Amino acid sequence: MSNIVAIVGRPNVGKSTFFNRLIQRREAIVDSVSGVTRDRNYGKSEWNGKEFSVIDTGGYIKGSDDIFEGEIRKQVELAIDEADAIVFLVDVEEGITPMDDEVAKLLRKVTKPVLLVVNKVDNAKREQDAFEFYNLGLGEYVTMSGMSGSGTGEVLDKIVEILPELPEIEEVQDELPRFAVVGRPNAGKSSFINALIGEDRFVVTDIAGTTRDAIDTKYNRFGFEFNLVDTAGIRRKAKVKEDLEFYSVMRSVRAIEHADVCILVIDATRGFEGQDQNIFWLAEKNRKGIVILINKWDLVEKSTMTARDYENKVREEIAPFTDVPILFVSALTKQRLLKALEAAVQVYENRKQRIATSKFNETMLPIIENNPPPAIKGKYIKIKYCMQLPTAIPQFVFFANLPQYIKDPYKRFVENKLREIYNFEGVPIDIYFRQK
């Protein structure tokens, strides 16, 4: 479980550069989810042993400059609602603008920790100019330069300092698997859960975004026992009008981080859109099991689009991680819902499986011997030994004499062979090459 830090501020103060600085502190966890526009707006950061998720609200704002003010106000209100801490970024070159004042006004009312960061401070004169930001009434500020990176350490120190303590989660050995039902607003997540549980446990309406908090439901039927997590609950009607794209991602972040398997519900009538992709990559980067359900399949004109065409299109969008179960369901007619559950349980089992080292070597080494990595500069790469690491998610290490010369295409080849032999459907796997 990790805290969520939201970066807010008006356009062009350097939010994206700052965001990239934050998430590149540690290569191991760094990767951010990309939508179709490939705008980077979600990542993980770690500093002094504290891990947190970072959301750059700027990536979600659509429209031209004149409608920005309303949009920014919405983003700030959402960040206030959903994040654990807020970083307010301002630009020393432009000084305080009316829009900064607006944002500050909203933030002054908040009980959550707010950190004011003055960006583009790269010399002593600008250090002096930054004094003006005391006038925003948010107290102390930190200065930095997103471009050169100076001051990033101080900013991270401050963020880690203001993050609220997370409740300790008791690790229970026989804890039930957690299946999170995720997807964009109105894809039919709550209807899917209601159809499974057989009672209207959630309020289902036709207004997008009527669901508010993640709710866990213990599910025990047909021999399956697990917790179903719906990113759901009841939402205040006043909030329904807002742009829900950013909201649904923030909601999904929490649900995904705490799940074992993510059941991604897609609205068949709308297709696999950018937002669905965002949520898919979010689950993949967090190394969770994934099942994709194409819901409302009963509403699709079958003459125009067959299931196979539809499935191929989705697989193109999620490449290179295409080894994922895709099922066509209808929460309304209850078509294939149990199949969907069986698929999720199977993915959970796949994610948990352990392969004995001796067996793994017997299987993989002959394949590698017959298809060795290409020689580089006359040097031959030999892989002599491999094993699965004792981690919560499937990770494999191959020991080689010259691991630094093994390129991505070969890594993919090894992963594909592994997937052909062992069932890792729906499960992201990590493959490492190390010095033997």
Q: State whether 343 and 199 are in the same domain.
A: yes
pLDDT of residue 86: 93
Q: Are strands 178-182 and 261-267 parallel, antiparallel or unpaired?
A: parallel
Q: Establish if 171 belongs to a structural domain.
A: no
- Does the annotation place 407 within a ligand binding site? no
Please indicate if the annotation marks 233 as binding a ligand: yes
Question: Are 9 and 136 part of one and the same domain?
Answer: yes
Task: State the total domains in the chain.
Answer: 3
Is residue 169 domain-resident? no
Percent of the chain with pLDDT over 90: 42
Neighbours of 262 (CB within 10 A): 30
Q: Count Cβ atoms below 10 Å from residue 159 Cβ, excluding itself.
A: 23
Instruction: Supply the pLDDT for residue 60.
Output: 56
Which of 304, 326, 351 is where one domain is finished?
Answer: 351
Rounded distance, CA 20 to CA 249, Å? 18
Q: Quote the CA–CA distance of 275 and 436 in Å, as a whole number.
A: 42
Tell me: is residue 184 an annotated ligand-binding position.
yes
Last residue of a domain, one of 127, 162, 197: 162
The answer to whether position 328 is within a domain reads yes
Question: 377: domain CATH number?
Answer: 3.30.300.20
3-state secondary structure of 40: strand
Facing residues of 267 across strands?
295
pLDDT digits (tens, 9 = 90+) for 168-189: 544 444 478 889 998 877 788 8
Count of beta carbons in the 10 Å neighbourhood of residue 257: 17
Give yes or no: residues 139 and 270 share one domain: no
With respect to residue 323, please indicate whether it lies within any of the assigned structural domains.
Answer: yes
Instruction: Please tell me whether residues 56 and 99 are part of one structural domain.
Output: yes
**Residues 183 and 331 both lie in one domain:** yes
With beta carbons less than 8 A apart as the criterion, state whether 228 and 193 touch.
yes
Does 167 belong to an annotated binding site?
A: no
Query: Is 188 annotated as contributing to ligand binding?
Result: yes
11 has binding-site annotation: yes
Instruction: Check the annotation: does 234 bind a ligand.
Output: yes
Query: Which of 351, 372, 391 is the last residue in one of the domains?
Result: 351
Does residue 173 sit within a domain? Answer: no
Is 15 within any annotated ligand binding site?
Answer: yes
Same domain? For 147 and 224 the reply is no
Residue 295 annotated as lining a ligand binding site:
yes
Which CATH number covers residue 220? 3.40.50.300
What is the CB-side half-sphere exposure of residue 214 using CA atoms within 13 A? 24
Specify whether 183 is located in the same domain as 228. Answer: yes
Cβ distance 140 to 129 under 8 Å? no
Segments in the chain below pLDDT 50 = 25-40, 64, 169-174, 200-213, 232-243
Residues 197 and 317 in one domain: yes
221 marked as binding residue: no
- Within-domain flag for 22: yes
State which residues form the domain around 387. 357-435
Instruction: Tell me, yes or no, whether 168 lies in a domain.
Output: no
The residues with which 85 forms a beta bridge, in sequence order, are 5
pLDDT in tens, 12-70: 888 888 888 887 743 323 333 333 223 347 777 888 888 888 888 765 555 545 556 67
Q: Is residue 85 part of a domain?
A: yes
The answer to whether 21 is a known ligand-binding residue is no
| In a shared domain, residues 209 and 144 | no
